[in-house]
Amino acid sequence: MRKRVAPLVALLACLALVAAACSSSSGTSSSGGRSVLFRAQDGVVLHGTIYGDSLTMIILAHSLNSDQKSWGQFPDILTNRGYSVLTFDFRGHGASPAAKEPGIADADLAAALDFARNTQGLGRHDVYVIGSNMGATAAIKVASREQVKALVALSPGVNIRGLTAVPDIDRVEEPKLFIAAQNDTQGAQDAQTLYDRAHDPRQIQIVPGNDVGTDLLKGVQGDKVRTAILDFFGSNR
């Protein structure tokens, strides 16, 4: 019996460590969302998550080589402010199948917008979009041809593997907020380029640090960035 005690104790200790690790991981992301599926125009099935039930929705579009989990607890922050939230995985990212195609990321975001309006019963003026990196560039392209309430572009790229918003930005009439970090040289430069080409109403914030995309929400400037976004949406509600 004594020989079995040590292995048993070791096994229980390992299980405790696994449980603790799982608990820690789940604590960094939003809770209470419900999984949804919708199709892009070419039939690719995209995986998403909806948080909250407000008729005013914010769609979150993630960065290249990332997924919807990268938004962390931000969906909870938004739902606590009275919004509902739709996150999703671009094709080839996260749970969404098919190959990665950054050049048509705007088609996936357009599908998310259609899903939000048609399935959730939202009106044309009831959807905001926040995009990160590739998602920001896709958001600009979509907003140039679809009406949204307002959009936020975190570390937008002028050209991300064939996805470019330069020809589209001057057709975006809705309020726009561009945010990038000062030491993210390319991101700050691209944000400034897009801001300069955009029409009013527009805002830009270049914050200290080197965080990119969704990391802007979590880093040293996280409080400032989150407040800027909430204030921006609050003034355009």
Tens of pLDDT, residues 9-42: 333 333 333 333 332 233 345 667 999 999 999 9
What is the per-residue pLDDT for 29?
55
**How many domains, the chain?**
2
Q: What span, in angstroms and rounded, lies between the C-alpha atoms of 212 and 219?
A: 9
Q: 112 and 25: one domain? A: no
Q: 89 and 16: one domain? A: no
What is the per-residue pLDDT for 43?
97
User: 226: domain CATH number?
Assistant: 3.40.50.1820
Per DSSP (E only), the strands in 52-167 are: 57-61, 84-88, 127-132, 151-154, 159-160, 163-164
pLDDT beneath 70, residues of the chain: 1-31, 124-125
Q: What span, in angstroms and rounded, lies between the C-alpha atoms of 83 and 119?
A: 16
Q: 85 and 5: one domain? A: no
Q: 156 and 146: one domain? A: yes
Q: 155 and 58: one domain? A: yes
What is the per-residue pLDDT for 124?
63
Alpha helices in 81-201 (DSSP H): 105-120, 134-143, 185-197
Rounded (10°) CA dihedral 219, 224, 229, 231? 160
Q: 104 and 65: one domain? A: yes
Q: 13 and 83: one domain? A: no
Q: 103 and 197: one domain? A: yes
Q: 57 and 106: one domain? A: yes
Q: What span, in angstroms and rounded, lies between the C-alpha atoms of 16 and 72?
A: 24
3-state secondary structure of 23: helix
Tokens of 73: 């607890």
What is the per-residue pLDDT for 30?
64
Q: 157 and 125: one domain? A: yes
What is the per-residue pLDDT for 32?
76
What is the per-residue pLDDT for 62?
99
Q: 75 and 110: one domain? A: yes
pLDDT in tens, 110-126: 999 999 998 877 776 68
Length of the chain: 237
What domain range is 25 assigned to? 1-30
Residue 144 main-chain phi, psi, to 5 deg: -75, -15
Q: 26 and 74: one domain? A: no
